Amino acid sequence: MTPNLDADSAPTQNRALTEWVAEIANLTSPDKILWCDGSEAERARLTEIAIASGTLLPLNQKKRPNSYLHRSNPNDVARTEQLTFICSPNKNDSGPTNNWADPAETYARLRGWLKGSMRGRTMYVVPYVMGPLGSRFAKIGVEITDSVYVALSMRIMTRMGRAALEMLGGNGDFCRGVHCTLDLNPERRLICHFPQDNAIWSVGSGYGGNALLSKKCFALRIASVQGRREGWLAEHMLILGIQNPKGETTYIAAAFPSACGKTNLAMLTPPPAFAGWKVFTIGDDIAWMRVGEDGRLWAVNPENGYFGVAPGTSAHSNPNAMKMLEHDSIFTNVAMTPDGDVWWEGLDDHPPDGLLDWQGHPWNQNSKDKAAHPNSRFTTPMTNNPALSPHANDPRGVPISAIIFGGRRATTMPLVLESESWSHGVFMGATMGSETTAAASGAVGVVRRDPMAMLPFCGYNMGDYFGHWLTMEKSIKRPPKIFMVNWFRKDRDGNFLWPGFGDNLRVLKWILDRIEGRVSSEKTPVGGVPKISDLDIRGLEISADQLREDLAIKPAEWETEMNSAAEFFDKIGPTMPKLLREKHQHLVASLAANGA
Ligand code: OXD
Ligand code: MN
């Protein structure tokens, strides 16, 4: 039986929305349509439904109130870049780094798959706002989904429900997201973006990065296209504020590929020697940045929660995260202890006896597989974060003084590197590479070019994206300084050269000193590096040799790096900005002059 599709039963006067919901309901034939209002009562109701169906397992409610475990289908544990498509009308608009499919053919194919697909299921209509309410940055999306896990997760990750419908009003536009899990068969799994229609269709996966359409699909792939059109930037960046002992706060945005420690950096706890310093989180994954009237770049975090990687999260690596996960969180694919708590590799050195692994099988220390999936996750509201910035909801955003690009690199990349100018910083971002991680399906630990950490998330031609970054210079009269960092360089024996985590504040402090002109940097062919004496290493056991090794620029390694960057630039082809090619040639020549 088709449910009541009468527009009068919808909690909105927006005809475009009610007609679209009716169209998708007619296609998918759900038993029920539920318009999510975002209320606490609704959360409780949906949680009961999820528990009854086995989608959520209650954790020990004394230890972790309102927290649940979700076990996903083992074939559905990470983003699937090979199944992710940009369906722009013109293939060149998606560019050589994205998969492209013809929009009309793709719509037809997906409609075929979705016909009657929600029979026996509830269709959740999830309206949401990205960005602080009342902000000029804010945008609306609506996700239709057949997954109660997705509906509950969207309530954590976005400003979901009534507020979105109020903002939408009778005529507002919105991103149309259709999500249907089908039977989770990888043969019928596709994540498709139609930037020209402000639309996303995601089918056959329940994994967060594929299924929470607000996140990678809207806030990066679709929004990057909107940002280019409207003159702003949608980036895969955390945003943090650093308060010095005088009480002055400086804001930094930083791009790192998935599972390279963005969440840890965004809520860093200063080392003991940094008494009086504080780090505040604005966001841990995505930044939307616009030029303000003062000529500075201002940023908001469009999200309202964190979808972070669990393994490696501990009282040492991220004490704030450990606090924020104490309640109101959904864990996905972590291990469960006999008393109904969570566990993952890196949480501590003592996996408790009697663990169930991420698939619910008994696990012990002799088991050959990990207890938690390497890409197991937590979903938690940002208000749980003890380090949340008082400006996280500020409609104006925060002014950005520095942009950092970072990768996971065992060699080549120094601890920190300063660019000479905006365009040189864009070149650094464009030539960035990183080792792959478990956040995407496929091989782990292979270096690939991942410019600005946006390779999987740029919704249009990457050459045009670089061009857009270069063009932004004209309107940013007071541009942030651009840096690169690498926390992951190793010595010859495979040991990390830098302790990382809270000690990364030492590097951020040097960056602040450079912004204020308090220290100088040493010029190298690839950018500026700190003088060892300018790095604040009070209370840190690290030798000058170790630091020198971590800051070393080795021309032969850079020659290999630039060869790989050249291959990438060639792959981009005609849209690759000439200015970046010239910078590349110039760098290769100066490396040769330095003995590469
Ligand atoms: C994420 C990712 O989940 O980048 O943030 O994969
Ligand atoms: Mn991410």
Q: What is the pLDDT of residues 514-527, one digit of tens each?
A: 999 999 999 999 99
Q: Examine the pLDDT at 596 and tell me if it is beyond 80.
A: no
Average pLDDT over residues 550-577: 97
Tokens of 516: 């204020």
Average pLDDT over residues 302-326: 97
Question: Going by CA atoms, what residue is nearest to atom 4 of ligand 1?
Answer: 258
Whether the CB-CB separation of 564 and 434 falls below 8 Å is answered with no
Q: Token pair for residue 137?
A: 């940055």
Beta carbon of 457 within 6 Å of any ligand 1 atom? no
Between CA 129 and CA 140 the distance in angstroms is 5
- Element spanning 288, H or E: strand 287-291
- For 378-391, the pLDDT digits (tens) are 999 999 999 999 99
* CA distance linking residue 441 with residue 350, whole number of Å: 28
Q: Give yes or no for residue 207 CB within 6 A of ligand 1.
A: no
Q: Which of 542, 469, 456, 465 is nearest to 499 (CA)?
A: 542
Report how far Cα 424 is from the mean position of its chain's Cα atoms: 24
Atom of ligand 1 nearest to the CA of 377: 3
What tokens does 175 get? 């991103």
Mean pLDDT for the stretch of residues 140-145 = 98
User: Other CB atoms closer than 10 Å to residue 231's CB: what's the count?
Assistant: 13
Task: Using CB atoms within 10 Å of the CB of residue 509, give its burial: 0 to 12 exposed, 13 to 18 middle, 19+ buried.
Answer: buried
List pLDDT tens digits, range 91-138.
999 999 999 999 999 999 999 999 999 999 999 999 999 999 999 999
pLDDT tens digits, residue range 169-188? 999 999 999 999 999 999 99
Bridge partners, 251 (sequence order): 241, 400
User: Under 8 Å CB-to-CB from 536, ≥6 apart: which residues?
Assistant: 273, 506, 509, 510
Q: Determine the pLDDT at residue 129.
A: 98
Instruction: Say if residues 593 and 526 touch (Cβ distance below 8 Å).
Output: no
Q: Does ligand 1 lie within 6 Å of residue 79's CB atom?
A: yes
> Please, what are the domains in the chain?
7-56+75-231 (3.40.449.10), 234-304+389-591 (3.90.228.20), 306-384 (2.170.8.10)
Which atom of ligand 1 is found nearest the CA of 257? 4
Alpha-carbon distance of 74 to 425, in angstroms, equals 40
pLDDT digit string (tens) for 415-434? 999 999 999 999 999 999 99
Rounded to the nearest whole angstrom, what is the distance from the C-alpha of residue 135 to the centroid of ligand 1? 25
Which of these is catalytic: 175, 180, 217, 260? Answer: 260
Is residue 17 classed as helix, strand or coil in its secondary structure? Answer: helix
* Side-by-side strand order, sheet with 342-343: 342-343, 335-336, 355-356, 362-363
CB atoms within 10 A of CB 57: 16
Q: Which amino acid would we find at residue 430?
A: A
192 in catalytic set: no
Ligand 1 atom 3 nearest Cα:
209
Q: Which two structure tokens, joined as six digits, stand for 569?
A: 């630039």
Q: Which residue has the tokens 């009070």?
A: 538
The number of the ligand 1 atom at minimal distance from the alpha carbon of 457 is 4
Dist. CA 247 → ligand 2 center (Å) = 30
pTM for this prediction:
0.97
Output the CA 562–ligand 1 centroid distance in Å: 27
Q: What pLDDT, in 10s, does the model give residues 476-523?
A: 999 999 999 999 999 999 999 999 999 999 999 999 999 999 999 999
Nearest Cα residue to atom 1 of ligand 1: 258
Q: Which helix (H) or strand (E) holds 179?
A: strand 175-180
Digit-coded pLDDT (tens) for 25-73: 999 999 999 999 999 999 999 999 999 999 999 999 999 999 999 999 9
Helices vs strands, H then E, count in the chain: 16, 31
Q: Which pLDDT score is estimated for 439?
A: 87
What's the Cα-to-Cα distance from 26 to each of 123, 125, 181, 254, rounded to whole Å?
A: 11, 14, 17, 43
- Distance between CA atoms of residues 315 and 529, nearest Å: 31
Burial of 130 (C-beta count, 10 Å sphere; 0-12/13-18/19+): buried
Cβ neighbours of residue 104 closer than 8 Å, sequence gap 6 or more: none
Q: Which atom of ligand 1 is nearest to the CA of 439?
A: 6
Please work out whether the CB of residue 258 comes within 6 Å of at least one atom of ligand 1. Answer: yes
